[in-house]
């Protein structure tokens, strides 16, 4: 099958003759329909996570082989963390944190930039007919946006600042606005901020931004500088949520964190059912976030496009 592979020495390349993966008893073989290129994929090609193999973890596809007959032929999205199912994290519905986990396209398991992929049946979520493939491919990052309000109590009184108008920033901005809190999204691209502005969400260009004293700041910049800005504009006692992972190391002033009793909260993968429901109920607009759809055999070009800072979502069609 055709697949898009990253190898530390050989770099990113298309492989036309990759064997179709075999599915185990509790797994399903999925024919991938559409996949999204995420900033994490780009960071991996720079060395993040030391991963090698088929890249990609945002997808929608159709189940083609699986022991659960009810799933056959259905459109699905899939959670990317695969736990050992034995440890205390797996037993407590925290398989995202299983120390023995693999993560599709990120850690010890091939991803989904390919014609077919295998995932555990338990990781799959079916997609309602009213949600298109182009929308469903956003379930994984949208779930990551919803993760914030699963981790942190947010009340309508809170003043919230989202840093970054990349794909995740635009999703997080929309999710936070659902709560009804005072929100501002700071970005560098007028045309991207306009997507939120059109939904009535307050936005500002970073060059014009000079507010401080936020209760909650969410770093979706994808840049090593994001955390410093967040710590500068948070109020004492406030909470900074970090979504950004970078291949570069970042230093922070921990004295400032202690003296101002700040909380810094790392945030990663989130609840798929919540994201699917939000799409079904038309609460979140994802279609304006699509920049371009490339066929998988133009995967290299798609990556080059996605790697341009300030771009929107690049999709791969299989």
User: Which spans of this chain sit near a copy of itself (rule: CB under 8 A)?
Assistant: 48, 89, 94, 96-97, 99, 151, 227, 235-237, 242-246, 249-268
Q: Quick check: 57 and 103 in contact, CB under 8 A?
A: yes
Beta bridge partners of 29: 65, 118
CB atoms under 10 Å from CB of 297, counted, come to 15
Measured in residues, the chain has a length of: 318
- Supply the minimum distance, in Å, between the C-beta of residue 174 and a copy of itself: 21
Between CA 287 and CA 69 the distance in angstroms is 32
Between 10 and 258, name the residue whose CB sits nearer to a copy of itself. Answer: 258
Backbone angles phi, psi at 177, to 5 degrees: -70, -20
Between 203 and 223, name the residue whose CB sits nearer to a copy of itself. Answer: 223
CA-based nearest residue to 30, from 78, 95, 85: 78
Q: Quick check: 243 and 267 in contact, CB under 8 A?
A: yes
CA-based nearest residue to 137, from 281, 275, 276, 35: 35
Between CA 138 and CA 59 the distance in angstroms is 8
- Supply the minimum distance, in Å, between the C-beta of residue 62 and a copy of itself: 30
- Supply the minimum distance, in Å, between the C-beta of residue 251 and a copy of itself: 4
Between 11 and 213, name the residue whose CB sits nearer to a copy of itself. Answer: 213
- Supply the minimum distance, in Å, between the C-beta of residue 254 and a copy of itself: 5
Round to the nearest angstrom and report the end-to-end CA distance of the chain: 11
- DSSP secondary structure, 172-241, as one string: HHHHHHHHT-EEEEEES-HHHHHHHHTTT-EEEEGGG-----EEEEEE---STTHHHHHHHHEEEEEEEE
Distances (CA, A) of 222 to 206, 242, 246: 15, 10, 7
Between 205 and 259, name the residue whose CB sits nearer to a copy of itself. Answer: 259
- Supply the minimum distance, in Å, between the C-beta of residue 177 and a copy of itself: 23
The number of angstroms, rounded, from the C-alpha of 217 to the middle of its chain's C-alpha atoms is 18
By CB atoms closer than 10 A (0-12, 13-18, 19+), residue 139 is: buried
CA-based nearest residue to 296, from 313, 277, 318, 269: 318
Between 56 and 270, name the residue whose CB sits nearer to a copy of itself. Answer: 270
Between 89 and 116, name the residue whose CB sits nearer to a copy of itself. Answer: 89
- Supply the minimum distance, in Å, between the C-beta of residue 147 and a copy of itself: 8
Between 227 and 279, name the residue whose CB sits nearer to a copy of itself. Answer: 227
- Supply the minimum distance, in Å, between the C-beta of residue 281 and a copy of itself: 26
- Supply the minimum distance, in Å, between the C-beta of residue 114 and a copy of itself: 24
- Supply the minimum distance, in Å, between the C-beta of residue 38 and a copy of itself: 14
């Amino acid at each position: 099958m055709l697949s898009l592979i990253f190898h530390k020495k050989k770099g990113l390349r298309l492989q036309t003759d990759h064997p179709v993966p075999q599915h185990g008893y509790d797994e399903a073989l999925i024919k991938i329909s559409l996949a999204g290129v995420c900033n994490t994929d780009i960071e991996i090609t720079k060395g993040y996570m030391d991963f090698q193999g088929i890249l990609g973890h945002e997808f929608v596809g159709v189940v083609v082989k699986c022991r659960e007959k009810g799933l056959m032929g259905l459109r699905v999205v899939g959670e990317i963390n695969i736990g050992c199912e034995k440890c205390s994290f797996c037993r407590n519905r925290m398989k995202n944190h299983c120390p023995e986990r693999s993560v599709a396209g990120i850690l010890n398991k091939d991803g989904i930039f390919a014609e077919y992929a295998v995932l555990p049946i338990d990781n799959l979520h079916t997609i309602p007919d009213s949600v298109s493939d182009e929308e469903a491919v956003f379930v994984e990052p949208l779930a990551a946006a919803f993760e914030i309000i699963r981790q942190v109590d947010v009340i309508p009184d809170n003043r919230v600042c989202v840093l970054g108008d990349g794909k995740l920033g635009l999703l997080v901005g929309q999710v936070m606005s659902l709560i009804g809190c005072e929100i501002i999204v700071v970005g560098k691209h007028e045309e991207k901020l306009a997507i939120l502005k059109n939904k009535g969400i307050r936005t500002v260009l970073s060059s014009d931004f000079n507010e401080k004293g936020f209760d909650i700041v969410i770093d979706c910049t994808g840049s090593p500088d994001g955390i410093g800005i967040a710590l500068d504009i948070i109020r004492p006692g406030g909470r900074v949520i970090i979504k950004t992972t970078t291949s570069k190391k970042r230093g922070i002033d921990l004295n400032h964190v202690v003296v101002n009793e700040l909380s810094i909260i790392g945030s990663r993968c989130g609840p798929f059912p919540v994201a699917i429901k939000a799409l079904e109920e038309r609460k979140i607009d994802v279609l304006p976030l699509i920049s371009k759809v490339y066929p998988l055999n133009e995967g290299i070009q798609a990556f080059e496009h996605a790697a341009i800072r300030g771009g929107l979502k690049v999709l791969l069609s299989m």
